Chain A
Amino acid sequence: MLGKGILPFFDIHMKNKQYIQAWLLLLPALILLAGFTHIPTIKTIWRSFFSLGENTDIGFVWDNYEFLIIDDVLWQVLGNSFWYLVITVPASIVIALAMAMWINRHMPGRSLLRLSYFTPTVLPMISVANIWLFFYSPEIGLLNSILGLFGHEGYNWLGDPDLALYSVMAMTIWKEAGFFMIFYLAALLGIRPDLYQAARVEGSSEANIFFRITLPLLMPTTLFILVNAILNAFKMVDHLFILTKGGPNNASNLLLYYIYENAFSFFETSYAAALTVLLLAILVILAVMQFGVLERRIHYR
């Protein structure tokens, strides 16, 4: 049976009973996938072409997509999302790796350190955002109070259009790094110590060991983290509800939050559908790039 092609279900030699059983076994996953992924996706694409505003039976239109191009706010939001991605993803990965390398050694209080680095991940985003709201608030906030000790008048962290996005980024990095650290820590523990011993006998410096052994052996983990970090950069909206609501003047607005606003605040559901298709396209392109380009350069054990 093995050699008979990629679609064993359609193998004519397969008994009817097995055929039904196979489909029954696939059914739960199929229902979930179709109900929550495939059908909504198709419907979203459909709506982005066949509706305008709240009107659904108007035939084929390009208007939603034409509006994408002339929508200045969208371009600002895309710019924000781009910088949000480009800054938070590398920063949280580098910090995660540094923390994991730091913790992955024998020292007193190691498990306490691990726990404290991991805490931000355990907390729900809403609570984290509320904690940071306290840090950032202009009058009584922790950051401005500290700055006040040095005679500085402080910043309006979330209210200043030049600062709001960076303030949101800082909180994201803080939350993400601890989560990624756990993966790096597990991967570091999986690297055999005799590789390091061999490298030391060969006269390798610490930097050489890091760049020639540790980093390449962590690449599968890095890819996994990278995919997750990039998806998270697009997926996270909770903190915007608490911290800035995309403001001021869309300075910290991100694509997913903008979709939410269009769909549920402005009730521009058809435009929101077009935006969703755009988000989907971006994610598909990123995924293809990651798995297609990076994967070939990575060694898997």
Chain B
Amino acid sequence: MSFISIQNLTKSWGEAPAVNDMSFDVAAGEFLALLGPSGCGKSTTLMMLAGLENPTDGQIHFNQKNVTDLAPGKRKISMVFQSYALFPHLSVKENILFGLKARHVDPAERNKRLSEVLELVDLGAHMDKKPGQLSGGQCQRVALARAIVSHAPICLMDEPLSNLDAKLRNEMRSEIRSLQKKLGLTVIYVTHDQIEAMSMADRVALLNKGCIEQIGRPEELYDQPATDFVAGFIGHPPMNLIPDEETILGIRPEHIRLDESEGISSKVVNCDYHGANTLISTKFCGHILNFMIQGHRQYPAGHTLKLNWDRGQAHYFSRTTGQRMADITQNHFMNEGLN
């Protein structure tokens, strides 16, 4: 059995289940991201792992031990909250030591661990300040320190970076990742930000409506999306999904190129300049097709562009089930769709 094993986990509050029969495993030292849109059940899943919500059904095992009905404090976990959940009346030092004091760890050990984590998160100078006197990034570090100091092998993180500005978020991303590797933590990380999930996680579980749509390495989700939902969620801008009677064609904006000789024609709808590249929307088969071109390009609306892509980069999904279809050898759309 894996280090963390979740079996048939279900949570419902009367109506439709928030988490529906979810099962997955996490290896020791692995960084798993639970990714999904709001309301997909990712936070509820994390709350159940933490013991802060009781599952309606299913089992949770940490390190071969059934913890499904165990109190949060006895699960050997630490947690980082979206709003940091720092105790506003306690100093940075007291915040970090809170758990150790509650668990009656002896003072010498406490101080040893305190100085270790203060160095790890670089907060030594702010030890005696209250959370209200710290910046968002510093608060985030205190929350991390509080999680690390417990020496719990499992760390649960609930959108820890969503309250930071873009620059800090980038810094903290690599900081959290390197801390996790250095300490060998097993992290389950909830986020709605695919960039966080893709860049930090060893594996990503993409959730939708309380179920796992796909779980795998980031490049698996990107290269071989299992369903049209995954295809439409992963990637920025999202994959173009063009349905016909039976299948859905998926093609990523970054894989479309201009091809004057063999390309198919489509009419420009809009051009969006992003700096390094330009996002161009065109009309294709009655659907909007987005793609990227490097540099600054401006075309008038209605201008005809010839587009092409490599066959290997097209994805096909069943129109009825949304499931990925085995690679179609004939490029259906190229031959029929345009006529």
Mark A residues whose CB is within 8 Å of B. Answer: 192, 194-195, 197-205, 208, 212-213, 216-217, 219, 299, 301
Contact = CB atoms under 8 A, between A and B. Distances in A.
Contact of B98 (A212, A217, A219, A301): A212
A199 B98 contact: yes
A200 B83 contact: no
Given A203-B74, A204-B73, A299-B130, A198 B85 contact: yes
Nearest to A200: B72
A201 B74 contact: no
A194 B50 CA distance: 12
B102 interface: yes
B83 A203 contact: no
A60 B102 CA distance: 65
Contacts of A201: 50-52, 72-73, 77-79, 99
Contacts of A192: 83, 85
A202 B98 contact: yes
A193 B73 CA distance: 16
Contact of B99 (A195, A203, A216): A203
19 contacts: A192-B85, A194-B81, A194-B82, A197-B72, A197-B81, A197-B85, A198-B81, A199-B98, A199-B102, A200-B52, A201-B51, A201-B79, A203-B74, A204-B73, A204-B99, A208-B102, A216-B90, A301-B88, A301-B132
Contacts of B81: 194, 197-198
A194 B81 CA distance: 8
Contacts, number: 70
Interface string B119-133: 000000000001010
Contact of B88 (A199, A212, A299): A299
B299 interface: no
B102 A216 contact: no
A123 B150 CA distance: 52
Given A200-B52, A202-B103, 6 more contacts: A194-B85, A197-B72, A197-B85, A203-B72, A213-B87, A217-B89
A218 to B, nearest CB: 10
Secondary structure class of chain A's binding surface, majority of residues? helix
A230 to B, nearest CB: 24
B71 interface: yes
A177 B91 CA distance: 33
B129 to A, nearest CB: 13
A219 B90 CA distance: 13
Contacts of B132: 301
A217 B102 contact: no
Given A200-B52, A200-B73, A213-B87, A205 B102 contact: yes
A193 to B, nearest CB: 9
Contacts of A204: 73, 98-99, 102
Given A194-B83, A197-B52, A299-B130, A202 B89 contact: no
B85 A195 contact: yes
Contacts of A198: 79, 81, 85, 87, 146
